[in-house]
Amino acid sequence: MRFAAIADIHGNHAALKAVLDDIAALGIRDVVNLGDCLSGPLEAAQTADLLLLLDPEAVATVRGNHDRYLLETLHTEMGSWESDAYGQLAPRHLQWLSRLQPSLVFRDDVFACHATPASDEVYWLERVSPEGHVHLRLLDEIEAMAAGIEQTLILCGHSHVPRAVQLSDGRLIVNPGSVGCPAYEDDHPVFHKVENGHAMASYAVLDRSDGAWAVQFRNLPYDHMAMSRLAASRGRSDWALALASGRV
Ligand SMILES: [Fe+2]
């Protein structure tokens, strides 16, 4: 069994196109998309149209917190990530988002959610210290959130940090990193930064042979400066810097 895991596209159509082209070039058909598809100041509608074109038999998508905010928040009360995207979206895009589930089981063997099984707003594999440092979460805490999941491979996104964590019973949790947003600042639970230190589009290839999962993290160059300039033209200097450098 071989498939790709993508996450946190955040309206970056150019990065998504690069990733989908790479997946196709590898001869991979099946994709799990871990959500946060459209929010951000880039190309939400084009991104949605590209995702809507994908074969629903081959691609399974869960709903991210930012996907949910686009559906549940009044337009006048949306945060900047949502308000930038919402104005671009057509009813068909929102209808597609509304059909997404918060978690799913893929091909019987893989559990997928955006952040954790219980919340779409909590980093599963990272902890934010009171000083705002983001570091690997304690194994006991990670395993407590995996209670009851029978699948040997578990996928999550949300933190934009590519990472694989092995549980003591042999299960594996993988975050493929972010397709379209390599760095950001957040105030929840306290102010912190996530910086991957590069501007490439990230995703992962999962491959099981002889019963064990292998993980290949891939970082792809694409025309990230075009997206940086687009963010700058829309008054989003934070996104412009993140897309140019993977830093904020
Ligand atoms: Fe998220």
* Average pLDDT, integer, range 83-87: 94
Q: What CATH class has 2-245?
A: alpha beta
| Residue 6 CA, ligand 1 centroid: distance in Å | 13
For ligand 1, the distance from its centroid to the CA atom of residue 175, given in whole angstroms, is 12
**From the centroid of its chain, how far is CA 161?**
9
Q: What is the whole-number distance in angstroms between the Cα of residue 160 and the centre of ligand 1?
A: 8
Q: What is the mean pLDDT of residues 40-69?
A: 98
What is the per-residue pLDDT for 108?
Answer: 96
Domain ranges of the chain: 2-245
- Residue 104 CB contacts under 8 Å (≥ 6 apart), including other chains: 60, 62, 111, 112, 113
Q: What is the CA radius of gyration of the chain?
A: 17
pLDDT at 172: 98
Predicted local distance difference test score (pLDDT) of residue 215: 98
Distance CA 37, CA 63 (A): 8
Burial 61-99 (b: 16+ CB within 10 A, else e): bbbbbbbbbbeeeeeeebeebbbbbbebbeeebeebbee
Rounded distance from Cα 9 to ligand 1 centre (Å): 10
211 CA → ligand 1 middle, Å: 30
Distance 114 CA to ligand 1 centre (A): 7
Q: What is the pLDDT of residues 170-219, one digit of tens each?
A: 999 999 999 999 999 999 999 999 999 999 999 999 999 888 999 999 99
Summarize pLDDT for 133-168 with one digit per residue, the tens.
999 999 999 999 999 999 999 999 999 999 999 999
